[in-house]
Amino acid sequence: MKGMRYVDFIDTGYKPGKNDLVCTFYLEAKNFRRAAGAVAAESSIGTWDPNLKTMRPGIRKLGAKVFHLKRNLIKISYPEELFERGNISQILSSIAGNIFGMKELDSLKLLDVEIPRRMVKSFPGPGFGVKGIRNLLHVRKRPLLGTIIKPKLGLREKQHARVAYHAWRGGLDIVKDDENLTDMRFNRFEKRVDETLKMRNRAEEETGEKKIYMPNITAPLSEMKRRADYVMDKGGEYVMIDIITTGFSALQEMRDYLNGRCVIHAHRAMHAAFTRNPKHGIDMKVVALFARLAGVDQLHTGTVLGKMEGEKEEVLSTNEKLLSDLYGLKKVLPVASGGLHPGMVPALVRILGQDLVIQAGGGVHGHPSGTEAGARAMRQALDAFMEGADLRDYSREHPELEEALKRWGVCEA
């Protein structure tokens, strides 16, 4: 029985079944039709030489099918038998494995993935999700406000904790480590957690509000488990993981290990290495989908505004992957972070909605009057929006906001 040529994987009359996994790709190639078949072949049962002596009856039905080809877009349907349920690494190795390096194509980007219900049900999803996070913080409607300790590296443990305290006192809900702060010689993980949670407790007593600290536990898996245990033993309720550099296998293991005992904040450090190019790589909403399946509760998705790349349509579609109904999985809270300041808050909420974490680093700590004033300015900007007030008018009676607007201006987007 002969193997299958690349063109044999094209069937424009095929209609995906309810248990098929469907991928949408952007494709550029000199021979578009052959390259489309090559993508389907190499991501399912095929190979470059169709004259296989190892083909057996029944194997052909496992082949992926290109059922749509139009204007550089192709859609491929995969039978569920090709995938191991509950195994993100295996699924991604199939649909996003060798295909990006094939000479048959010039550019290829995985734009979207539709996963069937039975496969979704093999994943736990978030332990807390949007509702659980809001219940934990006792914040029902407005966006959550946070900051990242800056400078990214260099502060000692007590200095770090003091900065966090002033951010909380100023009105922020959340303080988090940055993506590259773990266990440094000048800032040891355990001592940082101890000192910062002490300041969290003090800030809660003084403000009467729930406050959250997100320590970065990113490390080899066994050490991540140990660090998570340490955080929870000290009264922490959140951990942060750099999910791309850590890997989906470790992320799935951590979700199972934590089992709803602790909120997982997902940082996407390194994502732009394969999401940024509009013609090649993997779209951020695909990352978001698999992060949700794996069980993160919050995920950085972009700001539209600020210093990081990410067009409005891209960010909105990524957030939709986190907040849409997905066969009963809890919803993931999007996080906007990168180059934000108080003058951007109203525009940001208008664009992205209220199920959102707004994080400002330099836009808090760079305030002319310091961190606490910067935090107050962020909270005042959000209060102004929630009350339907004009930001500039509101600032006349709120000096911290007024000072922030003088420094950074107002975003009119």
pTM reported for the whole predicted model: 0.95
Please indicate whether residue 365 is annotated as part of the active site. Answer: no
Task: State the Cα–Cα distance between residues 184 and 355, nearest whole angstrom.
Answer: 34
Please indicate whether residue 150 is annotated as part of the active site. Answer: yes
The confidence band for 129, taking pLDDT boundaries of 50, 70 and 90, is: very high
Amino acid 311: pLDDT: 79
Residue 145: partners with Cβ closer than 8 Å, 6 or more residues away: 171, 172, 173, 174, 357, 358, 359, 375, 378, 379, 382
> Which has the closest alpha carbon to 168: 157, 160, 156?
160
**153-168: pLDDT as tens digits:** 999 999 999 999 999 9
What's the whole-number average pLDDT of the chain?
A: 95
Is residue 192 classed exposed, middle or buried when 0-12, 13-18 and 19+ CB atoms within 10 A define those classes?
A: buried
Task: State the Cα–Cα distance between residues 3 and 11, nearest whole angstrom.
Answer: 16
Mode of pairing for the β-strands spanning 333-337 and 212-214? unpaired
Amino acid 3: pLDDT: 65
The confidence band for 1, taking pLDDT boundaries of 50, 70 and 90, is: very low
Say yes or no to pLDDT of 199 above 60: yes
Mean pLDDT value of segment 185-200: 98
Mean pLDDT value of segment 242-264: 97
Domains delineated in the chain: 6-120 (3.30.70.150), 129-408 (3.20.20.110)
**225-251: pLDDT as tens digits:** 999 999 999 999 999 999 999 999 999
> Which has the closest alpha carbon to 17: 101, 151, 114?
114
Give me the residue label for tokens 């199939």: 94
Mean pLDDT value of segment 68-90: 97
Q: Which of 211, 267, 365, 367 is catalytic?
A: 267
**283-300: pLDDT as tens digits:** 999 999 999 999 999 999
Amino acid 308: pLDDT: 52
Q: What DSSP line would sit under 209-269, residue for residue?
A: S--EEE-B--SSHHHHHHHHHHHHHTT--EEEEEHHHH-HHHHHHHHHHHTTSSEEEEE-T
**90-124: pLDDT as tens digits:** 999 999 999 999 999 999 999 999 999 999 999 99
> Which has the closest alpha carbon to 21: 272, 280, 271, 286?
286
Measured between alpha carbons, how far is residue 375 from residues 120, 215, 255, 381 in Å? 39, 19, 32, 10
Say yes or no to pLDDT of 407 above 50: yes
Residue 124: partners with Cβ closer than 8 Å, 6 or more residues away: 255, 256, 295
- Report the Cα–Cα distance between both ends of the chain, in Å, rounded: 61
Please, are residues 227 and 215 in contact by the beta-carbon 8 Å criterion? yes
Give the H or E element holding residue 297.
none
Is residue 290 classed exposed, middle or buried when 0-12, 13-18 and 19+ CB atoms within 10 A define those classes?
A: buried
